Amino acid sequence: MSRNRILIVDDEPAIREMVAVALELADFDVLEAENAQRGHEIIVDERPDLVLLDWMLPSVTGIELARRLKRDETTNEVPIIMLTAKSEEDNKIQGLDVGADDYITKPFSTRELISRIKAVLRRASSVAAEKAIEVEGLCLDPVSHRISADDYPVDMGPTEYRLLEFFMSHQERAYSRTQLLDQVWGANVYVEDRTIDVHIRRLRKALAPFDYDRFIQTVRGTGYRFSVKSAKAG
């Protein structure tokens, strides 16, 4: 399966580089931002699996960015670990109060950081695995493996179910056929790229009676995406 993507938001290049190297060695993909504004753009566009967020950022602080992310329903489930030189109890409480999932004080060992990241990702995935996903009346329940459209059951095969589950969990981003194969079938399974097109057609056919097939969009030269925004705009 594809690697977890971690966003580092820190204004110190040396810290970003040290953490990035450690994360890549631990088999994570890394995104970087030098300030809160750029960090927010990457979170909205790229949907990282976890954010390492420095408290003391220029202009907009890490705590303000964390508060903004947790208030927005499109970003409030992205796990956050605060990185800071502040070790006082009040600061830790403030960080956790705005919704940070963990807190690590500089200087820290990269081994401790990696173990904290893995623990937070485990917690996040176990919560996400049980939570129903609902988009505009289309609902996917991962516990019962049932899909409904405006409370009517939707029948589809297991592969189409996994595709839809991935799309609904990763909305508004285009994925290539290779990325979808990696995510839905797994990296070690050989499947031809065009197999994706067959399953996309089946998925659209299952959703078409309820007019939800418009959310599964072809992106020319790239692949596919699940988008409510462009479906509404169109």
Does the pLDDT at position 203 exceed 90? yes
Residue 221 vs residues 122, 126, 176, 224, 232: alpha-carbon distances, Å: 34, 35, 9, 10, 22
3-23: pLDDT as tens digits: 889 999 999 999 999 999 999
Q: Which of 164, 234, 231 is nearest to 204 (CA)?
A: 164
DSSP assignments along 26-74, one per residue: TT-EEEEESSHHHHHHHHHHH--SEEEEESS-SSS-HHHHHHHHHHSTT
Q: Which residues pair with 175 in a beta bridge?
A: 224
* Rounded mean pLDDT, 111-130: 84
pLDDT for 105 equals 85
Structure confidence at residue 25 (pLDDT)? 93
Query: DSSP string of 204-228?
Result: HHHHGGGT-GGGEEEETTTEEEE-S
Q: What is the pLDDT of residues 73-89, one digit of tens each?
A: 778 889 999 988 766 55
Tell me the whole-structure pTM to 2 decimals. 0.60
Average pLDDT, stretch 159-187? 87
Per-residue pLDDT reduced to its tens digit, 138-149: 999 887 889 999
Q: Is residue 133 over pLDDT 50?
A: yes
Q: What angle do CA 100, 173, 143 make, to 5 degrees?
A: 65
Tens of pLDDT, residue by residue over 168-181, are 988 888 999 988 88
Q: Indicate whether 102 pLDDT > 80.
A: yes
pLDDT above 70 covers a percentage of the chain that reads: 90
Structural domains of the chain ordered from first start: 5-129 (3.40.50.2300), 133-233 (1.10.10.10)
- Whole-number pLDDT of residue 88: 57
Lowest model confidence (mean pLDDT) among 40-49, 99-108, 109-118, 158-167: 99-108
pLDDT in tens, 52-74: 999 889 899 898 999 999 888 77
pLDDT-derived band at 1 (thresholds 50, 70, 90) equals: very low
Q: What's the whole-number mean pLDDT along residues 187-203? A: 82
Structure tokens at 108: 């820290």
